[in-house]
Amino acid sequence: MKIDSREIKRVFKFAAIGVLNTGIDIAIFAALVYALSWSSLPAQCVSYFLAFLNSYWWNRRWTFGMRERGSARELLKFGVVNALSFLCATGVLLAAEKGLDLSPILAKLVSVAASLAVNYVGSKLWVFRQGTELGRGN
């Protein structure tokens, strides 16, 4: 099986954007919780949504090189994947914070792994599949 260098490059770009999004998400979350005394749930909603917008733009333009205008269907699919990712991350966040008595920021870090797994699989196999033929060595 030959591994396409363009696909490897895409995976690294996706990962780099994931790191950027995670940084944005955690920084905003921490600012809202610790500087503005928000509770974790509303802070999670705001920080995740802003990272979502950043993720869509960078993954669409940079990772997958799409220059034409995005469709409502594509954005909806990206939103569905991210909603599932958000629900998973939020469940893990609240379980870790309330159930395991972790600090909000530590619980947030634990929730990131769950979110990344759901988001990557959904983005690769469903959202950005059309036009990129992922896994087929385009």
pLDDT digits (tens, 9 = 90+) for 44-62: 999 988 998 899 999 889 9
The yes-or-no verdict on residue 81 having pLDDT over 80 is yes
Percent of the chain with pLDDT over 90: 47
Q: What is the pLDDT of residue 1?
A: 57
Sign of the four-CA dihedral 98, 100, 103, 108: negative
**pTM (2 d.p.):** 0.66
